[in-house]
Amino acid sequence: MNSLHSHFLREVWSLRREALGAALYWSGVGRAFELAARPTGAIILMYHSIAPHDVEAFVDPPNRLSPGMFERQMAFLGEHRRVVPLSQVVHQIAAGGSPPAGTVCITFDDGYRDNLTTAAPILEKHKLPATLFLATGYIERGEAQWADTLYWLLRYRTSNALSVPAIGLKANLASPAGETAARRLLHGRLLECSRDDRARLLNEAQRQLVPSGKPPRLTLNWDDVRELRRRYPWFEIGGHTRDHIDLRAHRGEAACLQITGCAEDLRRELGLGPAHFSFPYGRWSPETRAAVITAGWKSAVGTGEGFRIAGASDRFAMPRVESPRTMTELRFKTSGAYPGSLSMLGLR
């Protein structure tokens, strides 16, 4: 089975699971499951950009949620769920306790500027705490995330020819199929690249595609982060490596420099010790998990078992739920019915 076909099947399966989740929620079956099973454990939500209209065209669509939808979600969480700081959940599970079902933590990855200008005022309005995981090298450079740069290069290109023999890419982007295949190949390669290789690949793509215009600044800088902490003190700050490097592909000294360097940056710029860490793309290995612990971090979010964070959870591999795209999805996934009612039906 080729990778494109495999990706298509995963998307179809995901849509089927989401549709069934909505049916379980609105039919009352999910609620019946909660009453019978009495699940415990918190759900950690993961957001990235809450892009306002003037910058949304420069943010890769999977990484953004509209301010209007975010406002609706936060209003629901504030009224119907128990939203607590991530540090509270970490402290509770470290002591062997389990938060009650309906407990939710709100987190953001990367360090988008709209987390300060758009998301924080909405969170303040609804009196909700959150955690922001910073890729500190990007903050230092004020640099857009590589996925957003790739999105800009392809969307605003003035040339349709792209050839990168080193990765086996030769594409005519005038064809929708050619553009899709090129995007997926580039995205997969960039995700696993080192920072230097990533920069070289993006620079070569920019040279050939000659995109029009110039993107606005999408990323916080250190002054912005200090303003965020001053104006919104209930926003916890965590680490996300220096350069958003895949810590499953990069190990050893390279990984340690990313993990410890991120902690050093937070200490130098904000006076913060290492608290909560986010593995980029949720990817980690036993070696890099151990490096996070050695560097002094108190918890980490990444791909892990289940989705409910309870007393038996590994606090250095706490899974998260990606930002729901609909209100029904939010209601279901933050209820006690998720994911147990799906598992009961053989869906995970």
What DSSP assignment string belongs to 231-297?
H-TTEEEEE--SS---TTT--HHHHHHHHHHHHHHHHHHH-----EEE-GGG---HHHHHHHHHTT-
Per the structure block, which two tokens stand in for 190? 């960039």
Match domain 3-143+220-344 to its CATH number in 3.20.20.70, 3.40.950.10, 3.20.20.370, 3.40.30.10.
3.20.20.370
- Kindly report the CA angle at 323 between 320 and 328, in degrees rounded to 5? 110
What's the rounded Cα separation, in Å, for the pair 157 and 6? 28
Q: What are the distances in angstroms from CA 15 to CA 5, 10, 111, 323, 332?
A: 15, 9, 29, 15, 14
What's the Cα-to-Cα distance from 243 to each of 56, 185, 207, rounded to whole Å? 23, 21, 23
How crowded is residue 166: how many other Cβ atoms within 10 Å of its Cβ?
A: 10
> Three-state DSSP class for 29?
helix
Beta bridge partners of 239: 134, 277
pTM: 0.91
Closest to 44 (Cα-Cα) out of 244, 345, 340, 313: 313
> Phi, psi at residue 164, to the nearest 5°?
-130, 85
Structure tokens at 248: 């499953």
pLDDT tens by residue, the chain, 348 residues: 343 344 444 444 454 556 665 565 556 554 555 555 567 899 999 999 999 999 999 999 999 999 999 999 999 999 999 999 999 999 999 999 999 999 999 999 999 999 999 999 999 999 999 999 999 999 999 999 999 999 999 999 999 999 999 999 999 999 999 999 999 999 999 999 999 999 999 999 999 999 999 999 999 999 999 999 999 999 999 999 999 999 999 999 999 999 999 999 999 999 999 999 999 999 999 999 999 999 999 999 999 988 999 999 999 999 999 999 999 999 999 998 787 666 555 555
Paired tokens of 220 = 């916080």
Tokens, residue 74: 């936060």
Q: Output 166-175 pairs: Cβ under 8 A, ≥24 positions apart.
A: 167/201, 173/209
Q: Are 104 and 85 in contact (CB under 8 A)?
A: no
Domain boundaries, the chain: 3-143+220-344, 149-209
